[in-house]
Amino acid sequence: MRYIKSIQILIFLFSIGTQTTFYAQTNPDDIALVDDFVENNFYDAIKQRAIENYDKAIIAIQKCIDKQPNTAAFHYELGKNYLDSKQYAEAEQAFQKATELDPSQRWYWNGLYDVYYATKDYQKSIKIVQKLIEFDEHLKEDLVSLYVYTNQKDKALQLIEEIESKAVLSANMEYYKLRLLEDSKSNKDERALITAIIKNPKSEQNYIDLMALYSQQNREDKAIEVAKDLAIEIPNSEWSSISLFKLYLNEDNGTAAANELLKVLENPKVTLGLKHRFLNEFLIYSANSTQYDSQLNRAVDILSDDKTINVAKEVAKFYYNKRNYEKTSFFLEKALANEPNDWESVDLLLDNLVNAKNYEELGNRAVIFIDLFPSQPKLYYFAGYAENKKQNYKQAIEYLETGLEFVVEDIALERYFAIQLAEAYAESGNKKKSDYYVSKVNELTNQLKK
């Protein structure tokens, strides 16, 4: 019986896999589960993670670590649960411990890469991808992308040339190569404008053209430096608000910075790139305060005329990542007022209500949105999820089974339905149905990893 259970544990572990697919190398070494206590808890951790009960999985795997602290695979499993539950700092720590205990396993390094990519920490991602290239040279393309994201263009172009010397470039690498070569041409235009400013520092247009060039290249820091020079040479220029905004922000004068921000946003000559950059900076500055909410709301309203992007939705995403549920909902409501049929805003609003554990509002809003999008399965999922949390299991089953009929070729979503149905039937005392959906969860998990 011990042998069979151990095999089941290993099959379950390897069927879960990691978030990123690799070309080679087997999974980490089999774990010698010779302790009943460790074996039972490890099996429970795997089972709980399969149905997304991450808190319970973390408790179970931590018990294994307490007994066998030097088993790298346990720390790796802990990291996966923290990552899936978006506890990134804890996930990073767990994966780092796994790599320290066994640096030969690429899966552990990939766990760190997943964390840094999810948190957009591209500088740390670079170091990990450089390590992963030792296992798989195909990841050099990832490294090129990271160099581009971090504005290390010379390194990106050099690596592309290295890849091209050994193989035909992919379409993505061809795109990067052309873009980087175009940037090289822009450098000549940059030098010409800088020379023109030195020769005639009172000509406002040269400053404006140089700021526009930097903005096109996503080099807003350089554009701001030019704006500061402009404010010194031509103090009455309407562009001086750009440098004043930065100055007040650096001096921690939030009220003055907010006022200058509004001036920048209302200036039709300032590029949208700079406007969005400044709004982002003010968002970061005021993230943990309510003092500037009125100015922030006004800023979003000013930019709402921009039809290329739903600014309210982007601000909502910022607060969503900050886990500020109240402000996320507030700006999503603004976004939906601008675009009532924007499905992404609807989806994000309901997901935010899940994170806020506001199950009453989640259920109410999901039902309202079902009237607008009657064939959208995720709405039935959210409605069923809310009823499960409110222990209305019969109602949950009705929503979930109805919504499941609308799921078409979406294995991940079907799996979420199965998780909720397994729970609803289990709590309703229907073990047969619950077992069926638990097996369905495992089946769908395996399909996702193929």
336-365: pLDDT as tens digits: 988 888 999 999 999 999 999 999 999 999
Whether 424 maps to a domain, the answer reads yes
Whether residue 25 is found in the same domain as residue 112 = yes
CB-based contact 94:79 (threshold 8 Å): yes
| Residue 342 to residue 309: CA distance in whole angstroms | 12
Whether 246 maps to a domain, the answer reads no
Contacts (Cβ under 8 Å, ≥6 apart) of 122: 116, 146, 149, 150
Whether 124 maps to a domain, the answer reads yes
| Residue 47 to residue 61: CA distance in whole angstroms | 11
Q: What are the two backbone dihedrals, phi and then psi, of residue 80, each rounded to the nearest 5 degrees?
A: -60, -40
Whether 434 maps to a domain, the answer reads yes
Whether residue 53 is found in the same domain as residue 130 = yes
Whether residue 146 is found in the same domain as residue 81 = no
Question: In the chain, what is the straight-line distance between the N-terminal and C-terminal CA atoms, in Å?
Answer: 29
| Residue 49 to residue 66: CA distance in whole angstroms | 19
Question: Which residue, 149, 183, 217, sits at the end of a domain?
Answer: 183
Please give the angle made by the CA atoms of 126, 110 and 280, to the nearest 5 degrees: 50
Query: What element of type H or E holds 251?
Result: none
Whether residue 129 is found in the same domain as residue 86 = yes
Question: Which residue, 95, 112, 134, sits at the end of a domain?
Answer: 134
Whether residue 140 is found in the same domain as residue 130 = no
Whether 277 maps to a domain, the answer reads no
Whether residue 62 is found in the same domain as residue 115 = yes
| Residue 396 to residue 366: CA distance in whole angstroms | 12
Per-residue pLDDT of the chain (450 residues; tens, 9 = 90+): 333 333 333 333 333 333 333 333 444 434 444 467 888 888 888 888 888 889 999 999 999 999 999 999 999 999 999 999 999 999 999 999 999 999 999 999 999 999 998 998 988 999 999 999 899 888 888 898 898 888 888 888 888 888 888 888 888 888 888 878 776 666 667 888 899 999 999 988 888 888 878 877 777 778 878 888 888 888 878 777 877 787 788 778 899 899 989 988 998 888 888 888 889 899 999 988 889 999 999 999 999 877 778 899 999 999 998 889 999 999 999 999 888 889 999 999 999 999 999 999 999 999 999 999 999 999 999 999 999 999 999 999 999 999 999 999 899 999 999 999 999 999 999 999 999 999 999 999 888 887
Whether 225 maps to a domain, the answer reads no
CATH code: domain of residue 422 = 1.25.40.10
Question: Which residue, 134, 150, 174, sits at the end of a domain?
Answer: 134
Whether residue 48 is found in the same domain as residue 171 = no
pLDDT in tens, 121-171: 988 999 999 999 899 888 888 898 898 888 888 888 888 888 888 888 888
Whether residue 118 is found in the same domain as residue 167 = no
CB-count burial class (<10 Å; 0-12, 13-18, 19+) for 266:
middle
Number of domains in the chain: 3
| Residue 259 to residue 248: CA distance in whole angstroms | 10
Whether 169 maps to a domain, the answer reads yes
Selection from 340, 317, 339 nearest residue 327 by Cα:
317
**pLDDT given at position 188:** 66
**pLDDT given at position 434:** 92
Helix ranges (DSSP H) in 405-430: 411-428
Whether residue 116 is found in the same domain as residue 153 = no
**pLDDT given at position 44:** 87
Whether 368 maps to a domain, the answer reads yes
Q: Which amino acid is at 71?
A: T
Tokens of 443: 């089946």
**pLDDT given at position 187:** 66
Q: Which amino acid is at 378?
A: K
Whether residue 128 is found in the same domain as residue 158 = no
Whether residue 367 is found in the same domain as residue 438 = yes
Whether residue 22 is found in the same domain as residue 128 = yes
| Residue 353 to residue 392: CA distance in whole angstroms | 18
Tokens of 184: 């090289």
Length of the chain: 450
| Residue 414 to residue 377: CA distance in whole angstroms | 9
| Residue 359 to residue 391: CA distance in whole angstroms | 11
Q: Which amino acid is at 261?
A: L
Write the DSSP symbol of residue 138: G
Range of the domain at 157: 136-183
